[in-house]
């Protein structure tokens, strides 16, 4: 008996994915642990492993097919002994709700016509009047809606068919539509305009990742009441400490970045102000006992946020090591769900691109994200005198449903203290 291989759920939130590439072909023998396919999700491209032993009987879904629902049959696995390989499905419907049957390729002799998908129908315990007497579809719908018995009615339509006029129903009047609630109108999907005519344009299909980014950030701005606070910090003490630490860590092959130290400062500020390390839960407020920081990493085609777990308890060198490894895995498309799931807050740093200040969008369901701009030399008051100092603008976006302004202000003050008194990062 053939074993159905189904589109796996590679993360708790995955509903559909793209079958990016098959790593096997019909007739191949496989055993548990063998790689079968590459699946592209909204987060990363991951490998799909076999859990049973057998021989690939057919590849049901063609590689490159997008929006394949979790649970959809994508291949059939037969017994290890001789299985006649079947062809790959030429055309697969995206976002299919049930198993797909393999169809013969165009080159096969005398292909059978495709069978139409069965229509979903409610269970019926008796034959409808339309199955016992000749009746038009319209008359049948009216009779069923009004409870009219068709057995005693003589039809006046073609070949004695019962038509609407035979039911004694007056002329049809279109019902007046109910007014659409204003809330529904306000939440209607925006109209997507085509590109202007006459302008050279290249149109490319959005990847699963880009579509997910668009959906989630649209929902974030529509559903989460953002408010923003900015603090400008003197970065010179932190830069001095970083230079000293890197001189000591060089022999261990570790190099601290400014971002590594900002992650630690962010974690300590959330420990200092735990009311900012929260998540809105409808009728509840979730307050976290650990700081897991989602770190925004730009990759080809989008953005992903691997998580540094327990950043409040990690040393600077441990944060630097983890951040470097996660960023490399992200750019290579090798992150696992465990690498990017969760996170209690986020950080996004565009300082390396020379951006003076950024106002980030909250990464739902989190309630806080910190945006980091570039370090810029400017006049600043230091020890009672005006001199040049390296200043960075930090802007945090807060979910006002979960965090009030006073709490946010205390958090920003704690963050500034951690940065301008960087020895705290070593405690």
Per the structure block, which two tokens stand in for 359?
Answer: 């106002």
Mean pLDDT of 12-22: 81
Q: Which of 343, 345, 366, 341 is nearest to 13 (CA)?
A: 341
Distances (CA, A) of 212 to 48, 175, 229, 242, 377: 21, 39, 27, 37, 38
What confidence score (pLDDT) does residue 189 get? 62
CA–CA separation, 393 and 371 (whole Å): 8
Condensed to tens digits (0 to 9), the pLDDT of residues 229-243 reads 999 999 999 999 999
Model confidence at 129: pLDDT above 50: no
Q: Distances in Å between the alpha carbon of 15 and those of 139, 204, 252, 363?
A: 41, 23, 43, 19
Write down the mean pLDDT value for the chain: 82
Could you tell me which of 258, 342, 270 has the C-alpha nearest to residue 307?
342
What pLDDT band is residue 140 in, cutting at 50, 70 and 90?
confident
CA distance 416 to 394: 9
How far is residue 170's CA from residue 278's CA, in Å, rounded to a whole number? 62
Per-residue pLDDT of 285-327, as tens digits, reads 999 999 999 999 998 888 899 999 999 999 999 999 999 999 9
Going by pLDDT thresholds of 50, 70 and 90, the confidence category of residue 13 is low
Question: CA-to-CA distance for 142 and 126, rounded, in angstroms?
Answer: 18
> Mean pLDDT lowest for which of 61-70, 123-132, 196-205, 303-312?
123-132
Output the six-digit token pair for 365.
């369901």
CA distance 277 to 288: 6
Active site residue: 400, 401, 410, 416, which one? 400
Is 400 an active-site residue? yes
Annotate 280-314 with DSSP letters as a single string. Answer: EETTEEEE-SS--EEE-EEETTEEE--EETTTTTS
Strands 54-59, 73-78: parallel, antiparallel or unpaired by DSSP? antiparallel
At residue 206's C-alpha, the angle toward residues 354 and 308, to 5°, is 50
Residue 276's pLDDT band (boundaries 50, 70, 90)? Answer: very high
**Quick one: tokens of 125?**
């315990």
Q: Which domains does the chain have, with CATH numbers?
A: 3-78 (2.40.50.100), 223-426 (3.30.559.10)
Check the CA dihedral 349-353-359-362 and report its sign. Answer: negative
Question: Where does 31-89 show beta strands of DSSP type E?
Answer: 35-40, 45-49, 54-59, 65-69, 73-78
Backbone angles phi, psi at 388, to 5 degrees: -80, 135
Asked if 156 contacts 165 with a C-beta cutoff of 8 angstroms, the reply is yes
Task: Convert the pLDDT of each residue in 81-112 to its tens digit.
Answer: 554 444 444 444 444 333 333 333 333 444 44
Query: How confident is residue 138, by pLDDT bands cut at 50, 70 and 90?
Result: low
Query: Is beta strand 345-349 parallel, antiparallel or unpaired with respect to 368-382?
Result: parallel
Predicted TM-score (pTM) of this structure: 0.63
């Amino acid at each position: 008996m053939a074993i159905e291989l189904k589109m796996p759920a590679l993360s708790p939130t995955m509903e559909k994915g793209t079958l990016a590439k098959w790593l096997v072909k019909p007739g191949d023998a496989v055993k548990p642990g063998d790689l079968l396919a590459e699946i592209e999700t909204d987060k990363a491209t991951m490998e799909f492993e076999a859990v049973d032993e057998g021989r690939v009987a057919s590849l049901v879904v063609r590689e490159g097919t997008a929006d394949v629902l979790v649970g959809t049959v994508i291949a059939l696995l037969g017994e290890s002994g001789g299985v006649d390989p079947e062809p790959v499905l030429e055309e697969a419907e995206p976002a299919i709700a049930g198993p797909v049957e393999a169809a013969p390729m165009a080159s096969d002799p005398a292909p059978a016509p495709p069978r139409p998908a069965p229509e979903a129908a409610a269970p019926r315990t008796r034959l409808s009047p339309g199955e016992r007497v000749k009746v038009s579809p319209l008359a049948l719908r009216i009779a069923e809606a009004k409870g009219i018995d068709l057995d005693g009615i003589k039809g006046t339509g073609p070949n004695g068919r019962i038509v609407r006029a035979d039911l004694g129903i007056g002329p049809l009047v279109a019902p007046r539509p109910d007014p659409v609630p204003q809330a529904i109108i306000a939440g209607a999907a925006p109209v997507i305009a085509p590109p202007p005519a006459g302008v050279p344009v290249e149109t490319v299909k959005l990847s699963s990742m880009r579509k997910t980014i668009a959906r989630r950030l649209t929902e974030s701005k529509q559903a989460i009441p953002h408010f923003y606070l900015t603090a400008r910090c003197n970065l010179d003490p932190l830069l001095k400490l970083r230079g000293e630490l890197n001189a000591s860590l060089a022999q261990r092959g570790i190099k601290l970045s400014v971002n590594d130290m900002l992650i630690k400062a962010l974690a300590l500020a959330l420990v200092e102000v735990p009311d900012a390390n929260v998540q809105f839960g409808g009728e509840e407020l979730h307050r976290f006992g650990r700081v897991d920081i989602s770190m925004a990493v730009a990759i080809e085609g989008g953005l992903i946020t691997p998580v540094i777990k327990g950043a409040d308890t990690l040393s600077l060198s441990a944060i630097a090591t983890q951040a470097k490894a996660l960023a490399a895995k992200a750019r290579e498309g090798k992150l696992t769900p465990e690498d990017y799931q969760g996170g209690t807050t986020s950080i996004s740093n565009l300082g390396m691109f020379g951006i003076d200040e950024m106002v980030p969008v909250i990464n739902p369901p989190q309630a806080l994200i910190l945006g980091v701009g570039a370090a810029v030399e400017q006049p600043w008051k230091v020890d009672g005198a005006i001199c040049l100092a390296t200043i960075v603008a930090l802007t945090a976006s807060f979910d006002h449903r979960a965090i009030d302004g006073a709490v946010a202000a205390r958090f920003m003050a704690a963050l500034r203290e951690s940065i301008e008194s960087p020895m705290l990062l070593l405690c």
